[in-house]
Amino acid sequence: MKILVTGGAGFIGSHVSDALVAGGHEVHVLDDLSGGFETQIPGDATLHKMDIRHEDVELLWKEEGFEVMFHLAAQMDVRRSVADPRYDADVNVGGLLNLMEAGRKHGLKKVVFSSTGGAIYGEPDTIPQTEEHALQPLSPYGITKLCSEKYLFFYESTYGIEYVALRYGNVYGPRQNPHGEAGVVAIFCERMLDGRQPVVNGDGKQTRDYVHVKDVVAANLSALGHQGSGVFNVGTSIETDVVTLFEHLRDELAPAMPTEHGPGKPGEQRRSVLSYAYTQEVLGWAPTIDVRTGLQETARWFKAKRTGN
C-alpha cells in the first residue's frame, strides 16, 4: 500500500513510519522538519520536505497517488495556540484542508488522524472519559483538533474517504522532543540529565493519562486495518499526577533531586483520563505498557542518548 505520513520525521510520526515500513508498505514522509529530524525517518521511506499548507502538496499527490494518509503533522503546543490562535488554525485546519483537497482529487481512500483526548474533552464530567463525553476543549489547539474531526466526517460523507480519528492521551517515549511545551516527560528527563531542577507547576496533583508511543503505534496499525470510519480513544484509563511522574523519572535519573514546586499555570486543565473500552471492542486495541515501566524505559533512552551508550 502507498502511504503518506505527514509529520513522519517527528516523535510519534517516525515511530509510525518505522512500523509501516516494517509492514512492507511504500512509505512517503511529508515534513518541513520544523520539529522533526531527518535522521529519525526510516531509510526505506521517501522524504518530501514541505509544509502541509504549501500549494505543491497537490502536485506531489498527483504524481504519487497516495492511497492512505496518516496525518500527524500539527501545531501541537497548547500554550502557543492560546497565544496565537490564528497560526494554530492555519496549520491544524488549513493544513488539513490543503491535504484533503489534494487527496480527494488524486486517489485518497483513507485517513488515520492523530487527534487529542487530553485537550478535546475539557474537564471531565465522568471518569474515565469515553468517546461520548461532552466535547469542551479549553484551548484553540483542542478546538482545531475537533474541527479537523468534523471536516474528516464531511469528506467521508461527501467523497467516501474513510477516516479513523485517534484521540490520544499524553504520549511519551523515546524520540520525544524536550525543546517545547508538548512533552513534560521529555522536558523533565532533559533537565535531570543536565543537573537542572525541574519545576512542578502548582501542587502537582493535576493528572493526565500517559500512554507509551509503542502502544500508540499499535493503535495506528489497528486503525489501518479497520473497515469504516470512527473516533477512538487511545489511553490507559489510569490517571498519573505530575508529582508521581517526577518521582518515577527521578528514581531513574537523579535520585537525590528534591521536588520543587512553582506557580500553577492559569487555566491549566486539572484532570484527564480516557476510557479505551470502545477502542478495544472495535479495533481490538488495548495498552500493554504500564506507566512506571514505560517511564523507566524512556528515562534510560534519554540517558543512553546523552552518554552514547
* Pairing between β-strand 240-241 and β-strand 207-208 as defined by DSSP bridges: antiparallel
- The alpha carbon of 309 is separated from its chain's Cα centroid by a whole number of angstroms, namely 28
Per DSSP, the three-state class of 78 is helix
Closest of 169, 176, 160, 173 to residue 35, by C-alpha? 176
Cα–Cα distance between 37 and 102 in angstroms, integer? 25
Candidate list 141, 163, 172, 276, residue with the active-site label = 141
> Are residues 117 and 167 in contact, defined by beta-carbon separation less than 8 angstroms?
yes
- According to DSSP, residue 21 is labeled H
What is the residue-wise DSSP string for 85-105? HHHHHIIIIIHHHHHHHHHHH
> Are residues 7 and 27 in contact, defined by beta-carbon separation less than 8 angstroms?
no
Cα–Cα distance between 70 and 64 in angstroms, integer? 15
Residue 128 preceded by cis peptide, ω within 30: yes
Per DSSP, the three-state class of 123 is coil
Catalytic-residue membership of 141: yes
Q: How many CB atoms lie within 10 A of CB 78?
A: 24
> Are residues 241 and 206 in contact, defined by beta-carbon separation less than 8 angstroms?
yes
| Catalytic sites, residue numbers | 141
